[in-house]
Structure 1
Amino acid sequence: MNAYSFVQHLHSGFRYIVLVLFIYAIISAFIGWLGNRPYTNGNRLTNLFAMISAHTQLLIGIVLYFLSPLVAFNSTTMKDPITRYFTVEHWVMMVIAIAIITVGHSKSKKLTKAQDKHKIIALFYTLALLIIIGALAAGKISILK
């Protein structure tokens, strides 16, 4: 197994950890927000670990990007939908999603009311997850063309 293959498998498998943490953080945030529950240290840690997992996935993705044989900027890169997706579209959407996650987490830390903290996490993390799912769906469509 070469370095590219190892990192590709790591990136591919780690996404499930990210997904589980995000779904749990989002559900907890909606329950806390709509159920008028206190913002506990457990909530803070869940949100923090979800954010850290997304950043870790980004770092693994950056390593994968530079190891990838698909990353070759030439005249055919933008013409081929699969190469364009992995060279440009995928990572741009993921960076946008992670920026939203980071902003949401930072905003929630500055708030004092529990419902406001839950609300910010629920909204920002859900928006980021929708962007991630949309980006992955766009990739599937690119590959199937």
Structure 2
Amino acid sequence: MYETVQFIHSWWAYLVLLVLLITVVLSLVGLFSKKDYGATEFRLALFTLITSHIQLLIGIVLYFVSPYFQALGEVGMGGVMKDSTLRLYLVEHPLIMIISVILITVGYSKHKKKLTSHPKFKTLSIFYSLALIFVLSRIPWSAWF
């Protein structure tokens, strides 16, 4: 089961990263070009929100079925914090990804309340860019390549 969930989590991450990157780029372009916010931007922001939440749910399942989680019971939290690999997979990656999903959720919610295009693009740009930076900072790159 672990290998299947890990495979899904890894490949879905490519989709999340791609959609998040596209959303950030288009929101920045819209912000600086004074473009009108339309249905395409709304749908893309919503799709980013949905894919990131699905990734979070897959990640939660993966967290509890992974051998790293079993190691937590064996070495304790002190042992996890001393081992950089365990710390990445059990503490840093999950925490930063949860924060990223929260940023995406808050950014999406706040942008819906704005009435004009410029504040919508600004809100999306700020929150989604921060989420992208956080995501990129804690992807286990060695496991991806």
Q: How does 1:20-99 map to 2 (within 5 A)?
A: 20-71=18-69, 72-73=72-73, 74=76, 75-99=78-102
- 2:19 and 2:53 map into 1 onto residues whose CA distance is 13
Moved >3 Å (runs of 4+): none
- 1:140 and 1:80 map into 2 onto residues whose CA distance is 17
Give the alignment's TM-score, normalised by structure 2: 0.90
1:77 is displaced (CA, Å) by 2.0
RMSD: 1.5
The residue aligned with 2:119 is 116
Higher helix share: 2
Give the alignment's TM-score, normalised by structure 1: 0.90
- 1:140 and 1:35 map into 2 onto residues whose CA distance is 34
Q: Which runs of 5+ in 2 are unaligned?
A: none
Q: Secondary structure at the match of 1:70?
A: helix
Is residue 2:7 matched to residue 1:9?
yes
1:76 is displaced (CA, Å) by 2.3
Q: Secondary structure at the match of 1:78?
A: helix
Alpha-carbon displacement from aligned partner over 1:68-127 (angstroms, at most 9, x marks no partner): 011123252222111111111110011111111111111100000111101110111011
Percent identity over the alignment is 36
Q: Which runs of 5+ in 1 are unaligned?
A: none
